[in-house]
Amino acid sequence: MNMTHYMELLAVNQPWNLIIFMAIPIVLAETLAITELYLLFTRKFEGAVYYLNRFAGIAVGVYFIGIIYYIVTNAIIPITIAGEWRTVIDVIAVGSYVIAGLPLVWIALQELGLVNKRLGHEHKLKIHAICVALFLVFGHVAMISGMIDPSILGYKAPHTMEMNHDMPSEHMDHMK
C-alpha cells in the first residue's frame, strides 16, 4: 500500500518518530484540552489544574515551533522542490498537521505574555478554547487524510524492483 508522507514520517524510525511527532504533542495537547474544559466549567484561575494548563500550553506551543521548523525545512520544501507530492491528499495531510500546530503556538505566546496582554482571564480562556478547537480540527484532518492511500487519487509509486522475466509463471502468483 502507498502512504502519504505524513504516514511515512510516523512509520519510519520506529518508535522514535511516532513518539516525537505524535505521542509527545498529543499528550501535551490533550492535557491542555482536558484542563481547558475544567477551567471553562469551574472558572478557577489558580491552583494545580490552572498551572498544569499553562505549562501544557507553553510546552506544546514551543514544541510545535520545533516540529513546524523541522517539517518545513526537511519535508515541505524538499518535497515541493523535487515535485514529489503524492497527490493533493498528501499536501492536505502534511499541511494540516503543520497548520494544527499554529493555534498551539498562539496559546504559548499568550501564556508567555507576548500576545493578548491586555485581555482578562475570560477573554484569554475564549482564545484558548478556540485555539484548542482549531488544533483538534486540523489535527484530525491531518490524521484522517494521512491514512488515505494516495493511489486512490492516482498516485503511482516509482518501481523499485524490476520483474525477472525468466521467472516461471507459477511463481508469479505468489508475488501478488
Which three cell numbers mark 46? 489558580
Cα dihedral 166/169/171/176 (nearest 10): 110
Question: In this predicted model, what pLDDT tens digit does every residue of 40-82 receive, in sequence order?
Answer: 999 898 999 999 999 999 999 999 999 999 999 999 999 999 9
Residue 76: name the closest of 59, 58, 60, 97 by CA. Answer: 97
Q: How large is the average pLDDT for residues 111-126?
A: 92
Which band of pLDDT confidence, cut at 50, 70 and 90, is reported for residue 103? very high
Of all residues in the chain, the percent with pLDDT exceeding 70 is 90
Residue 170 has pLDDT above 60, yes or no: no
Q: How large is the average pLDDT for residues 160-172?
A: 45
Which pLDDT value is given to residue 160? 54
Residue 175 has pLDDT above 80, yes or no: no
Of 82-86, 95-99, 170-174, the one with minimum mean pLDDT is: 170-174
Q: What is the pTM of this model?
A: 0.84
Residue whose cell numbers read 488515505: 148
Comparing 68 with 125, the larger pLDDT belongs to 68
Residue 111: name the closest of 38, 67, 61, 173 by CA. Answer: 61
Which pLDDT value is given to residue 52? 97
Which pLDDT value is given to residue 161? 53
Residue 164, Ramachandran bin (φ over 0: left; ψ between -120 and 50: alpha; else beta): beta
